[in-house]
């Protein structure tokens, strides 16, 4: 049977031709890089009359970051950064030559998972620094049980006090993963102290004192529970002589728009406003990144040693978040985590049969733990990729607000040509190429008023998946 195609003459206007007379409905320009920026929305903001924010504190004794940094020469060999040995109390005021001599004496060794790095048998003969890997500090509990004291990671060192005094340590350190450990024999410390009088004086004073300086605030003398006419103690509250000052940071760009574009291609969407809107969005994205990662005022770089927590197994478990809550237990406001870290935490909860509760904030649902919401933020870097290198990131927990001595955002009270709080658009005129320029500026910073306002869970792995079938 032959099928014949019958050609019909067109009887009406085609849709393709009709479109020439139709008005197209257009969207404003879209931008994939725009995120909800929950950190900027959840932080309370302090408006500064001037560009400086001074944080006055009670005098304390915190020094350094509590870690001894190492570096790799590229061939698998690790070296100690000599100046970082000042993290050890009796080495803080030593000459650089003494520190370099000690740094050169560290010996590297590889430790397999499950192997003990240091124990409680006899005097501590070596100072150990973890250059790579994760280890567990354990001790015998009150009833003979094996108690986990802390999880250690890169840069952590032990046991400096027992090593300096030649005493036994009160705990053992066991490798939880494969570890690279740098160790310094106590004999080298003693020999160097015999040649360096300044080191000998500091070492003997430290050994006699038992502890040396510790992280604490200056004491306020008082008494309680007394009766009668007791002479009351006299005291005063001492302040830091040089309180930290935060200057407003800046993010800027110059937006250029040709006058021909803004003059004759402005309907139905204002070209200048469209350009400014996306430029402002990009500045706000950079602002959130800086508030987390800036090496000066970024929140990740302003967490003190006692507020850092290492994951026990790598993946973020309910136990890890509970440990984080013990660091910021006074009115915790929210966790801040990479979306993949939140997903990894959800998987760990599912595996344990403890699904997190859901709360609605900013018009969206969020996972919570112990009633504290987990806010997603892609500005917390996810290191590593692929199947061979597990991605790792950090999870922050913070208390917020000036009244709560928490974390606050900083911005100017008012700037010229302000279009949003802390963000201004200033016309710069038209040049000889008929291009109009606009200076777009954002002023901002962030501050943690006291040390226990923020804590971080470090080295969070997001690559663990489970077969629930």
168-213 tens-digit pLDDT: 888 889 998 899 999 999 888 888 988 888 888 888 888 776 554 4
Q: pLDDT category, 64, cuts 50, 70, 90?
A: low
**What stretch(es) of the chain map to CATH 2.60.120.10?**
70-209
Q: How far apart are the first and last CA of the chain?
A: 56
pTM of the model: 0.81
CA distances from 129 to 72, 133, 205, 335 (A): 14, 11, 23, 30
Percent of the chain scoring above 90 in pLDDT: 51
Extract the tokens encoding 20. 């020439």
CATH among 2.60.120.580, 3.40.50.2300, 2.60.120.10, 3.40.50.150 for 70-209: 2.60.120.10
Report whether 117 contacts 160 (CB < 8 A). no
Weakest mean pLDDT among 65-74, 89-98, 244-253, 259-268? 65-74
Joined together, the tokens standing for residue 45 give 């903001």
pLDDT number for residue 352: 92
Model confidence at 385: pLDDT above 50: no
Asked if 68 contacts 80 with a C-beta cutoff of 8 angstroms, the reply is: yes
- Contact yes or no for 451/292 (Cβ under 8 A): no
**CB-neighbour burial class of residue 124 (10 A; exposed 0-12, middle 13-18, buried 19+):** buried
**pLDDT tens digits, one per residue of 267-315:** 888 999 999 999 999 999 999 999 999 999 999 999 988 899 999 888 9
pLDDT at 259 over 50: yes
**Higher local confidence (pLDDT), 345 or 214:** 345
Look-up of token digits 């970051």: 65
Select, from the ranges 44-48, 120-124, 186-190, 218-222, the one with the highest average predicted confidence (pLDDT). Answer: 44-48
Q: Which of 222-231, 400-409, 415-424 has the lowest mean pLDDT?
A: 222-231
Q: Is 432 left (phi over 0), alpha (psi -120 to 50) or beta?
A: alpha
């Amino acid at each position: 049977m032959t099928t014949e195609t019958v050609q019909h003459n067109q009887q009406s206007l085609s849709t393709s031709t009709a479109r020439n007379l139709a008005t197209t409905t257009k969207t404003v320009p879209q931008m994939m890089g725009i995120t909800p920026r929950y950190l900027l929305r959840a932080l309370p903001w302090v408006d500064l009359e001037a560009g400086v924010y001074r944080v006055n504190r009670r005098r304390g004794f915190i020094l350094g970051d509590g870690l001894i940094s190492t570096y790799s020469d590229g061939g698998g060999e690790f070296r100690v950064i000599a100046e970082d040995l000042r993290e050890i109390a009796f080495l803080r005021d030593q000459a650089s030559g003494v520190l370099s001599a000690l740094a050169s004496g560290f010996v590297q060794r590889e430790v397999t998972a499950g192997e003990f790095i240091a124990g409680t048998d006899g005097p501590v003969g070596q100072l150990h620094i973890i250059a790579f890997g994760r280890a567990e500090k354990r001790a015998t509990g009150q009833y003979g049980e094996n108690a986990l004291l802390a999880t250690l990671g890169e840069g952590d060192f032990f046991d400096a006090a027992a090593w300096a005094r030649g005493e036994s340590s009160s705990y053992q350190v066991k490798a939880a993963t494969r570890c690279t450990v740098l160790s310094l024999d106590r004999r080298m410390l003693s020999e160097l102290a015999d040649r360096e009088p300044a080191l000998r004086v500091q070492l003997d004073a430290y050994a006699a004192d038992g502890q040396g300086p510790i992280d604490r605030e200056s004491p306020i003398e008082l008494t309680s529970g007394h009766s009668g006419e007791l002479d009351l103690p006299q005291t005063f509250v001492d302040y830091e002589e040089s309180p930290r000052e935060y200057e407003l940071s800046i993010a800027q760009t110059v937006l250029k728009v040709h006058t021909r574009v803004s003059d004759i291609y402005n309907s139905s969407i204002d070209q200048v406003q469209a350009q400014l809107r996306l430029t402002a969005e990009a500045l706000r994205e950079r602002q959130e990144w800086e508030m987390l990662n800036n090496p000066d005022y970024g929140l990740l770089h302003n967490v003190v040693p006692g507020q850092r927590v290492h994951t026990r197994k790598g993946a973020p478990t309910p136990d890890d978040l509970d440990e984080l809550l013990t660091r910021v237990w006074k009115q915790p406001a929210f966790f801040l985590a990479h979306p993949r870290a939140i997903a990894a935490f959800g998987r760990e909860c599912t595996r344990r049969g403890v699904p997190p509760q859901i709360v609605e904030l900013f018009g969206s649902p969020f996972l919570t733990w112990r009633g504290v919401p987990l806010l997603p933020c892609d500005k917390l870097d996810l290191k590593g990729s692929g199947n061979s290198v597990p991605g790792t990131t950090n999870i922050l927990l913070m208390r917020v607000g000036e009244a709560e001595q928490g974390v606050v955002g900083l911005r100017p009270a008012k700037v010229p040509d302000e279009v949003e709080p802390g963000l201004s658009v200033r016309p710069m005129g038209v040049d000889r190429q008929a291009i109009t320029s606009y200076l777009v500026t954002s002023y901002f910073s962030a501050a943690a008023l006291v040390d226990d306002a923020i804590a971080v869970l470090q080295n969070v792995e997001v690559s663990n998946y489970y077969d629930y079938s």
